[in-house]
Structure 1
């Protein structure tokens, strides 16, 4: 798995955009979308709509992935 960002195209509300994320983030982003029952473009659009306009989409996706993982860890901790 490469630590270098990989640029991929996404379609958000009918508009094409490209996002650069490291392989590990792309993998986690796909898993997050699947777990939520969403297409990758749908999840990206949700994150895009909720983000601060001063924060880039790639950064917002990384933070969303981290927030998702953190929530899962808190749930697991509560069940112990």
Structure 2
């Protein structure tokens, strides 16, 4: 099941979690989107409810899960 939510955050525009794949897509206000892997649904739920999504992201997600940028191809 996939869940999505817009956030009232200066840093993050939208988050989307895929329960089956355990992935979290985060679209930032600068329009860049990243896919974080091996992210449990509890992290998505906590991010959605966090008083500061930006602080939660920096403390609990950034650097803690493998990720790659979506919508941009990199040369091998």
Q: TM-score, normalised by structure 2?
A: 0.37
Question: Could you say which structure has the larger radius of gyration?
Answer: 1
Q: Tell me which protein shows more helix as a share of its residues.
A: 1
- What TM-score results when the alignment is normalised by the length of structure 1? 0.36
The structure where strand makes up a greater share of residues is: 2
